[in-house]
Amino acid sequence: MKIGIPRALLYYNYYPLWHSFFGDLGYQVVISPATSRAILDSGVMSCVDDACLPIKVFHGHVASLIGKVDAIFIPRLVSIYPKEFICPKFIGLPEMIKSSIKGLPHLLVLNCNAHRNLDAAYKAYVELGKMLGVKRSQAVRALQKALINQQLYESLLKKGQTPIDTLNEDKSIGESKGVIGLIGHPYLLYDEFISMGLISKLRARGYVVMVPENVAQSHIEAVCKELPKKLFWSYGKKLLGSGLAMLKGRKVDGIIFLSSFGCGIDAFIIELLQRYNHRLYQIPSALITVDEHSGQAGFNTRLEAFIDMIEWRNSREGHISPHGTSVLGH
C-alpha cells in the first residue's frame, strides 16, 4: 500500500516523524513533487478564494498525488502543545480537501490534539494505526521509533541547519559575511518555490541564515514570559519568541519577515516584532509578503535593496561628520 504525504504546510516540521511511522508499519511512503507553478495553479483552482497561499498550495499537492497512491495522509492538527492552538484552517483541512477535490483516494486523517496533554496527541497515532488495521502494540513501537527520529531531526536544526539542509542532506552552511534572521512559517521559508529561493539567495551573497527552528524552545518560552499576555497560538508564539531572541541577543545583522497575504496571525506577530525592534534594537528589517501573484523580479529587487542597505550601513556606520560639516565633506 502506498501512502502519499503532501509536501506542504507542516511537512517541513514533521516529515521524519510521519515517514518513520508509516515506513515502520510496512507502508511505502510517496512524497508529492516540489511545489511548482502547475501545483500552485491546481491548488488555486480547487481551493476556496479566501484561503491563504499555503492552504491553496496544499490543495495542489494533494491533487498531484491522485492516481499515484492508495491513500493520502491529511493531518488535522488542533493543538501541538498543551493549552495552545494553531491556525483554525489547519483544523478544517480534511473537510476542505474532501469538498474541494474530486477523485480522491482514501484519506488517512490524523486527529492530533495536545490541548490537554501530549499523551492525547500521541494516542492519535495509535488510532491512525487502527485505521490501517495494525495491532496497537505495533503502532506504539512504530510511534516510539518515529519520535526518536523526530528528536534527531530537531537536534540538527538546533545546531544551525535548516529543514532544507536536513531533508535534502545538504550539510553546507557556507562562508559568512554576516547573519540574516528569517522569521516566517515553515511552509513559507522552506518551500523554495513560495519563498523564491530566499535562503539560497542569501547564502549566495555570503550570508548565514538563522531561522526559528534554530532557536531552542526554552529560549522562546523565556522571552515570551516577559510579554504582558500569554500567546496561545503555538506558531505565532514560535515566530515572535524566536524573533525576539534574535533581536535581544543581537544574533543577526538584519532580519527579514516573510509572510503570506491574508494571514491573521502574521498580521499582529510581525507588527509586535517590528515595534520591539524599532524601540529597542534598530536592527535593519524588511517585510516581504507573498501570494499566488508574486513574481521573482519584484522579490529580488526587495531582497537586493535590503542587502545593500545592510552592507552600506556596516561600511558607513560610525562615519559621523563633525558639527557644521556635511557627510559628503563639502
Q: What is the CATH number of the domain that holds 102?
A: 3.40.50
69: left (phi over 0), alpha (psi -120 to 50) or beta: beta
DSSP state of 277: I
198 and 272 assigned to the same domain = yes
Is residue 96 included in any domain, yes or no?
Answer: yes
pLDDT digit string, tens, across residues 22-32: 999 999 999 99
Per-residue pLDDT, 172:
53
197 and 99 assigned to the same domain = no
140 and 226 assigned to the same domain = no
Is residue 326 included in any domain, yes or no?
Answer: no
Per-residue pLDDT, 309:
85
177 and 128 assigned to the same domain = no
Hunting for cell 559621523 — which residue is that? 320
Strands 178-183 and 28-31: unpaired
Among the candidates 140, 158, 176, a domain finishes at 158
Per-residue pLDDT, 85:
83
Per-residue pLDDT, 330:
44
Q: What range defines the domain where residue 218 resides?
A: 163-316
121 and 168 assigned to the same domain = no
Is residue 323 included in any domain, yes or no?
Answer: no
153 and 168 assigned to the same domain = no
149 and 191 assigned to the same domain = no
Among the candidates 158, 186, 218, a domain finishes at 158
Per-residue pLDDT, 321:
47
Three cell numbers written together for 176 = 559568512
Task: Tell me how many domains the chain contains.
Answer: 2
Q: pLDDT below 50 — which residues of the chain? A: 319-321, 323, 327, 329-330
Q: What is the pTM of this model?
A: 0.87
Per-residue pLDDT, 320:
47
Is residue 220 included in any domain, yes or no?
Answer: yes
